[in-house]
Amino acid sequence: MLIVPVENRPDWKNPPVATLLLILINVLVFFVYQGKDPQRVEQAYRWYVESGLVEREQQPFRQYLSRNEPELQEALDAAGGEGKQQRRDLQFQHAAYDKEFAQALHQELDSDPEWREDRSRFEQLANSVSTRAYAFNAGEARWDTWITNMFLHGGFGHLLGNMVFLFLFGFALEIAIGRGVFLLLYLCSGLGGTLLFWMSELGTDHSAVGASGAISGLMGMYIALYGLRKINFFYNVIFFTGQVRAPALIVFPIWVGYELIGASNGNDGIGHWAHTGGLLFGFVLLALWMRLGLKYNRDFVEKIDHDAPFKSAVARIQELVVKMKLDEARRAAVQLVKAHPHDSRAWRALHGVVKISPASREYHETVHALFKQAGKAARDPALQELIEEVAHEYTGTGGEKPALTESVSLLLAQRLGRVEHIKPLAVLADRLLERQCRHELMPRILQAVANLSAKAQLTAQAQRYREQLKERFPDSEEARQLAAHTVA
């Protein structure tokens, strides 16, 4: 059975950093640390054989099998020499991971100091395997393994499944409740899952590994966050697959019931009690926190788009343009710019309307009004990009238009210099030089275009403007600064 929400999509403008960090840690632990487990097992096996432990423990192992698994002992005896390697491998497995057999060995062989020393080294090697070193063992319950077991996995399939669910639930919760609270409740849910596993396995030697408890906690948090709000779920039950829209809370008892049924059906190798504990802890913790006044991103949860009126206005302008109601579209765009004078999207909408008629007075007025925003462009990359686009277009197509007079060219050159748009600035500078412009602003414009050309590694172009500055305005402060710099 599979029931997962498909309500939200990741917003990569605000990436789920904490969720991605948790995924990265789990993946690195699995491939970098756990990936060395085969070498650790091989090293322990080699020591078990080369130290002679395999021969010294052979007879105790035969006796142990005869007591506990007589049928297996008889099968190995019947195999004769062909079963020698099978017996050795089986003996190694029991010697490394069977606590009852290890206790029997210590009772029988502890009087031999050489055996104790070799056995101690072997146990160190065997216990260095990740699932022995950092898994949570119900019989030992070491304090550090309450946390470390959450970052181990039993195989690639286990890791992949957990990471998919971590991303599905994590990115939405991180945006909704904030990274700090998200990480705190993630870890608390994992601890809750481990606690319920421990309580269910008291007196056993069973171990738990994996992020499943913590991820089940995210599922519980998700339900607590959305409560009775209707959200979309994808489901797969036996042969039935599809989507359904239902109150989020309705799936909580289904998830819990599924885990309880799994737990009652015996040992299937899945930590159903850890999943149940995580679900309950995640749900209760976030529900209590919200009850106590935890602030959350209500706009995200309830899908409130404060930008919707703006988007609707832009869509309306585009619709009017398609219908060729250009005057009405321009008036609507002008109103949008008045309402949002510093929003590049509003300016883009207005420019898109007036540029249809590049010979019109409205087109030139709009372009000039946009260039007046050059001082704000340094703080708004989108506005800076729009000004650069329009500047390229205007200097390329506006040359024959009366609006691009000497005074207008000087004004635009100053504004383009402030936002470092070298290409259209160079076009305007060349136009002013061709017209033999002697305005007092020319030295500053030539100095700016020379410096920006040098910054853009256009060495020849920079040198050309410097020469024009020295030749045409030798008495200007900018020419003297250039001369002093050259001498220095």
Question: Active-site residue numbers?
Answer: 212, 275
Q: What is the full DSSP assignment across 183-217?
A: HHHHHHHHHHHHHHHHHHTTTS--EE-SSHHHHHH
Q: What is the full DSSP assignment across 430-459?
A: HHHHHTT---TTHHHHHHHHHHHHHHTT-H
Over the Cα atoms of the chain, what is R_g? 37
Q: Give how far Cα 191 sits from Cα of 149, 215, 216, 277, Å.
A: 10, 11, 11, 9
Q: Which of 359, 352, 416, 413 is nearest to 387 (CA)?
A: 416
Q: What is the full DSSP assignment across 74-109?
A: HHHHHHGGGGHHHHHHHHHHHHHH-HHHHHHHHHHH
Dmax of the chain from CA atoms?
111
Long-range contacts of 302-311 (CB under 8 A, 24+ apart): 302/229, 310/336, 310/340, 310/343, 310/345, 310/346
Q: Which amino acid is at 97?
A: Y
Structure tokens, 251: 């799936």
Q: How far apart are CA 95 and CA 123, in angstroms?
A: 9
DSSP 50: H
Q: Which of 134, 266, 283 is nearest to 209 (CA)?
A: 134
Q: Which of 94, 97, 80 is nearest to 37 (CA)?
A: 97
